[in-house]
Amino acid sequence: MAELDKESVDATPNVTEVETVDAATVEEAVAAIEAPVERGEPILQVRNLVKHFPLTQGILFKKQVGAVKAVDGISFDLFQGETLGIVGESGCGKSTVAKLLMMLEKATAGEVFYKGQDITKLSGRALKAVRRNIQMVFQDPYTSLNPRMTVGDIIGEPFEIHPEVAPKGSRRQKVQDLLDVVGLNPEYINRYPHQFSGGQRQRIGIARGLALNPEIIICDEPVSALDVSVQAQVINLMEKLQDEFNLSYLFIAHDLSIVRHISDRVGVMYLGKMAEIGTDAQIYDHPTHPYTQALLSAVPVPDPSAREGRERIILTGDVPSPANPPSGCRFRTRCWKAEERCSTEMPLLAIPERFVASGTPAAHESACHFAEEKNVVHAA
Amino acid sequence: MTTMEKTANVPAPRSDEDYQGPLLEVRDLHVEFHTREGVAKAVNGVNYTVDAGETLAVLGESGSGKSVTAQAIMGILDMPPGRIPQGEILFRGQDMLTMPENERRKIRGRKVAMIFQDALSSLNPVLTVGYQLGEMFRAHLGMSKKDAKLKAIELMDRVRIPAAKERVNDYPHQFSGGMRQRIMIAMALALEPDLIIADEPTTALDVTVQAQVMDLLAELQREYNMGLILITHDLGVVADVADKIAVMYAGRIVETAPVHELYSRPSHPYTRGLLDSIPRLDQKGQELYAIKGLPPNLTRIPAGCAFNPRCPKAQDICATDIPLLHPVTERDGTDLPGRGSACHFWKETIHG
Amino acid sequence: MRDATKTSVAPGSADEATAEPAAPAAPVRDAAKPRSLLQDAVRDLVRKPLFLVSSGIILVLVVMAAFPTLFASADPQLCELGRSLQKPSADAWFGYDARGCDVYARTIHGARTSITVGVLATLGSAVIALLLGLISGFYGRWIDAVISRGIDIVMGIPFLVGAIVILNSFRDEDGFRIGGIWGVLTALTVLGWMSMARIMRSTAMQTKQSDYVTAARSLGASTGRLMFRHVLPNALTPLIVLATISLGVIISAEATLSFLGVGIQEPTISWGVMINQSLGRIRESLHPLLFPAGFVSITVLAFIMLGDAVRDALDPKLR
């Protein structure tokens, strides 16, 4: 795992001003994108990212009647060489964040700075250069590989799209090396995806993501479709590759145990907002946001004796619709601490005042008016 | 399957009071599927019993045969391509595989009910929830439409759906995932069955909702004193609710144990590997232990112990002799009730 | 820094032990050579009676169309009124029609026109459908709206009215209608592509949503690559199936037009023309009608059966 300078990361509040490099020319932008970033420096900075999907009525003359607020103003940094885990329940917007960072969806508002360049405003050659450096691993290994292409074609496709990365003659060799790197037999190059099991397919997907030597890999639930015994293999492979290729991961998942295992820092999302963000120990051992606490306490732990000593918080009701989120704090409708103030005043993501000076692990960003430390993971 | 000749052998139905044995007993069940690539042996001699009020968790990965066994019990296996070459499924002592179809239908739905993973596709999207719940009463008990609806509201209250009276005329898509799963539970409970089979009931749900639904299921089970077979791949969910666990691998039960003991002292290398390969929530570990290799292809299950190519303890004997489910004992030979391990080296595994 | 080509798996880690020893146990069917989905489908097809029977019939029909003289030695254009309406005999297997022409020879020779028109019109409409459906389904938005409404409009034209209008526009310099193959081909192509385009559009739309298309998009793939490398190959199956089935339908549509006297005309022989000619004396004798009509039915049935078999074989859900 990347040894991060945790101190400096924790101390800096997330609102650091990012200098917008006003790239006069595409050349400058491309040059900036190709420049290396020091380990521990922010490589990706997300600021107030918003994505609203319009809800329309009518067939011919569409009229907007509302919007699904999938992502509603989130900010975070991804540091070079680290793994940032994003957890949350379905509908919290974590997958939309992945799509926005991959520029598969156009952001409604906000910025994503990659090495100082706002990639939401790039196009053409500069955008292509960014795409080369940010890759994605998908959730479902059964649908993310084109069934009519051979493994060699699938892993080699990045080279066809970015021919400057590898000259034509060397591609086959590169593909075979990639297969070897992800632990598959290089002789499988002419096989088709349906001849592989789920875990093997996910390795193929990872090999495709590695082909262009990217700096960032966005993993959207990369192991949730796999069997338990295969999950561990893939997780170990991903950790090994991170060390080998100096990758930064944005690891999106709903499985809190896996996120803790692989992440250096963790962000908890709820209804399009970041509820809490901090290092893995801060979030798991010293959570201050009630939602994080409830989420952690609900995780079934495969150890009945440890289970009995744990406090369980069972939330009532379901996640409200992102088309019509509650006013004020989004979590207040399910929160046991909710008071008048929560429905009127939206809590900001910041280190709670009472913990700022404390210097304890509770001093991390949490969007709650009544942030309070509570240990729900360890048996009392 | 059921022929008229066979019905002669079926013991006459006994009244509930006489019957002393387990609620459900599966004996040496085999299920195979005829596919283009050959015969896939999905279940290869499964034995288990469930008593009233007891929860048996069947744990396994995809392809382990855990769901196929359940489908065979419910009689919803697709045949063909499926086939049950041998085995018995005794419900209150009567073999469901040999009884005539009309008797079997009386058990299915009324005495044994099933809850599926995907509630949305198990509910009919064009009928109201109230109608679908009421259908159980109309079809099985011949109730009038009005009474059936009242019963439906009562059921929705039982599974704690808020404002049941107002929501009884809503359609399935108007409910959230957790609420739909509650409706599925209500439907399974409608006729107060003796046994419920829940196939990955919470896999599609979010963690916070998962806890609610599992709690509800456990509570209702206690209240009605039902038997529950919980089929899952999630070691965490099992730890919460099960009394005993059967771990399946390649169509066989490889280990049985009361729930606490399985986690504290697994006696089969596969179970041990599974437990070691899941990351922990309460501490950050180093590298995860990973079981090497892949689950076997069911058309070509390895000879001997099916787990031998992936097993760290495998010896020559493992590739030739199929291990039976040995009773597991303490080091000094004391009995460990309910424990069994299908491993030639169970002693080494549990006592290290 | 990050050079994938130079690294190899570090031996000894728990993870890496996984794949290599497991490889032989992987669910790869033939260790020796890999097969594509298409090869699988072909392997599947040759074991199906439905496919064997239908393709056998089609093969015979195609050979018949290509080399009619192999099957019939009599001259289809040689008509002697003296033989008018003679019943089938060893001499003339299908008998003679009202004008005294050999029905068997004419049926065999008629296969060429009917099958050529069927194949070409199907190919033509499939190409139109493929392009319009793919563009419409892939781009969506206003392009889709325009193309879809276009499909609706053409679909709204009654087939016969449309065909008669088109056929009437084919005239020689003196203003006489040409009862040739080109007019019929045009009419059948112009009026035959819509349902294929619709199915192409919907499968293209569906395929566009696939993760592998998203994956290619996130790599920066061009629109052309997305459309022709990813969407098209995966969206083609329903179109192929529908085209096979509509080949039969188009053959019978050709017969209908010729039967109504607006399609192919004498001296070109087609099954429709023959059916048309037989009608005048239908009360006296049925055989000049039955044989060409029977051939139309068998051909249509063979293509529909083939379409069915192909669909079963290509349907990934069945594997």
Residue bearing the bigger pLDDT, C26 or C49: C49
The C-alpha atoms of residue B70 and residue B19 are separated, in whole angstroms, by 23
The C-alpha atoms of residue C102 and residue C283 are separated, in whole angstroms, by 19
Residues of C in contact with A150 (CB under 8 A): 34, 36
- Per-residue pLDDT, A17: 43
* pLDDT above 50 for B341: yes
Residues of A in contact with B281 (CB under 8 A): 256-257, 260, 284, 296, 299, 301, 377
Residues of A in contact with C2 (CB under 8 A): 213, 215, 244-247
Residue bearing the bigger pLDDT, C30 or C237: C237
Q: pLDDT of C289-316, one tens digit each? A: 888 888 888 888 888 888 888 877 776 5
Least confident window among A275-289, B195-209, B275-289, C73-87? C73-87
The 3-state secondary structure of C144-202 reads HHHHHHHHHHHHHCCHHHHHHHHHHCCECCCCCECCCHHHHHHHHHHCCCHHHHHHHHH
Q: At which of A247, A262, A277 does a domain end?
A: A262
What average pLDDT does this structure show over B138-155?
85
CB contacts < 8 A (A, C): 138
Residue A258 lies in a domain: yes
- Per-residue pLDDT, B5: 42
CATH number for the domain formed by residue range(s) B21-242: 3.40.50.300
At residue C87's C-alpha, the angle toward residues C81 and C90, to 5°, is 105
Q: State the DSSP string of A81-109.
A: T-EEEEE--TTSSHHHHHHHHTTSS--SE
Query: Which tokens sit at B282?
Result: 């309460």
Considering only the C-alpha atoms of chain B, give the largest distance between any 2 of them, rounded to a whole number of Å.
Answer: 68
Record: contact C211-A236, CB cut-off 8 A:
no
pLDDT band for position C8 (cuts 50, 70, 90): very low
CB contacts < 8 A (B, C): 35
Q: pLDDT of C223-280, one tens digit each? A: 889 999 899 888 888 888 888 888 878 887 887 888 787 877 777 888 888 887 887 7
Residues A148 and A248 in one domain: yes
Chain C nearest-CA residue for A235: C15
Query: Which tokens sit at B8?
Result: 């002669």
DSSP A350: B
Range of the domain at A218: 40-52+66-262
What average pLDDT does this structure show over B221-246?
86
Residues A358 and A307 in one domain: yes
Chain B nearest-CA residue for A240: B287
Instruction: Give strand ranges (E) for B51-156.
Output: 55-59, 82-83, 88-91, 94-95, 112-115
Q: pLDDT of B187-215, one tens digit each? A: 888 888 889 998 888 877 777 778 788 88
Record: contact B310-C26, CB cut-off 8 A:
no
The C-alpha atoms of residue C256 and residue C272 are separated, in whole angstroms, by 6
What average pLDDT does this structure show over B95-121?
82
Q: State the DSSP string of C78-125.
A: -B-GGGTTPPP-SSSTT-B-TT-BBHHHHHHHHHHHHHHHHHHHHHHH
pLDDT band for position C179 (cuts 50, 70, 90): low
Residues A117 and A236 in one domain: yes
- Among A200, A227, A303, the residue with its CB nearest the CB of B263 is A303
Residues of B in contact with A197 (CB under 8 A): 294-295
- Per-residue pLDDT, B347: 81
pLDDT band for position A250 (cuts 50, 70, 90): very high
- Per-residue pLDDT, C177: 61
Residue A174 lies in a domain: yes
Residues of A in contact with B285 (CB under 8 A): 261
pLDDT band for position C7 (cuts 50, 70, 90): very low
- Among A89, A301, A314, the residue with its CB nearest the CB of B212 is A314
Chains linked to A by 3 or more Cβ pairs within 8 Å: B, C
| Separation in Å, CA of B296 to nearest CA in chain C | 7
Q: pLDDT of A217-228, one tens digit each? A: 999 988 888 888
What average pLDDT does this structure show over A101-120?
89
Q: pLDDT of A274-286, one tens digit each? A: 999 999 889 988 9
Per the prediction, chain B carries an average pLDDT of 83
- So what's the ipTM on this one? 0.80
Chain C nearest-CA residue for B296: C25
Residues A186 and A252 in one domain: yes
Sign of CA dihedral B268, B269, B274, B280: positive
Residue bearing the bigger pLDDT, C61 or C30: C61
Residues A98 and A189 in one domain: yes
CATH of residue A173's domain is 3.40.50.300
Residue A209 lies in a domain: yes
Residues of A in contact with C31 (CB under 8 A): none
| Residue A372 burial (C-beta neighbours within 10 Å; 0-12, 13-18, 19+) | middle
- Per-residue pLDDT, B100: 85
- Per-residue pLDDT, A207: 93
Record: contact A157-C221, CB cut-off 8 A:
yes
Residue A327 lies in a domain: yes
CB C61 within 8 A of CB C115: yes
| Separation in Å, CA of B265 to nearest CA in chain A | 11
**Cis? peptide before C267, omega within 30° of 0:** yes
Percent of chain C with pLDDT over 70: 84
- Per-residue pLDDT, C319: 43
C11 CB within 8 Å of a chain B CB: no
Q: Of A39, A257, C292, which Cα lies nearest the Cα of B278?
A: A257
Q: pLDDT of A52-71, one tens digit each? A: 988 877 666 667 778 888 89
Residues A177 and A326 in one domain: no
Record: contact B208-A294, CB cut-off 8 A:
yes
CB B297 within 8 A of CB A324: no
Per the prediction, chain C carries an average pLDDT of 78
Find which of B36, B307, B308 to mutate to test the C interface (most C CBs within 10 Å of its CB).
B36
- Per-residue pLDDT, A86: 94
Residue A342 lies in a domain: yes
| Separation in Å, CA of C8 to nearest CA in chain A | 5
pLDDT band for position C20 (cuts 50, 70, 90): very low
* pLDDT above 60 for C138: yes
Residues A228 and A174 in one domain: yes
Residues A221 and A365 in one domain: no
B285: helix, strand or coil: coil
Record: contact C22-B310, CB cut-off 8 A:
yes
- Among B62, B178, B215, the residue with its CB nearest the CB of A318 is B178
CB A254 within 8 A of CB A285: no
What average pLDDT does this structure show over A345-368?
85
Query: Which tokens sit at A151?
Result: 């493994």
What average pLDDT does this structure show over C18-24?
36
C36 CB within 8 Å of a chain A CB: yes
C230 CB within 8 Å of a chain A CB: yes
- Per-residue pLDDT, A178: 92
A162 CB within 8 Å of a chain C CB: yes
Find which of C218, C232, C237, C317 to mutate to test the A interface (most A CBs within 10 Å of its CB).
C218
- Per-residue pLDDT, A7: 39
Task: Show Cβ contacts of residue B224 under 8 Å, excluding neighbours closer than 6 positions.
Answer: B189, B192
CB C152 within 8 A of CB C144: no
Residues of B in contact with A296 (CB under 8 A): 281
- Per-residue pLDDT, B229: 92
Q: Which domains does chain C have, with CATH numbers?
A: 37-318 (1.10.3720.10)
Residues A100 and A136 in one domain: yes
Residues A237 and A328 in one domain: no
Residues of B engaging C, defined by a Cβ cutoff of 8 Å: 36-37, 287-290, 292-294, 296-297, 300, 302, 309-310
Task: Find residues 238-267 of chain A whose CB sits inside 8 Å of chain C.
Answer: 240, 244-247
Residue A2 lies in a domain: no
Total number of domains constituting chain A? 2
Task: Show Cβ contacts of residue A204 under 8 Å, excluding neighbours closer than 6 positions.
Answer: A141, A145, A151, A154, A155, A179, A182, A184, A193, A196
Residues A222 and A153 in one domain: yes
What average pLDDT does this structure show over B111-126?
82
Residues A241 and A340 in one domain: no
Q: Of A283, A296, A303, A309, which Cα lies nearest the Cα of A373?
A: A283
For chain B, the domains span 21-242, 249-279+288-351
Query: Which tokens sit at C141?
Result: 């938005």
Chains linked to C by 3 or more Cβ pairs within 8 Å: A, B
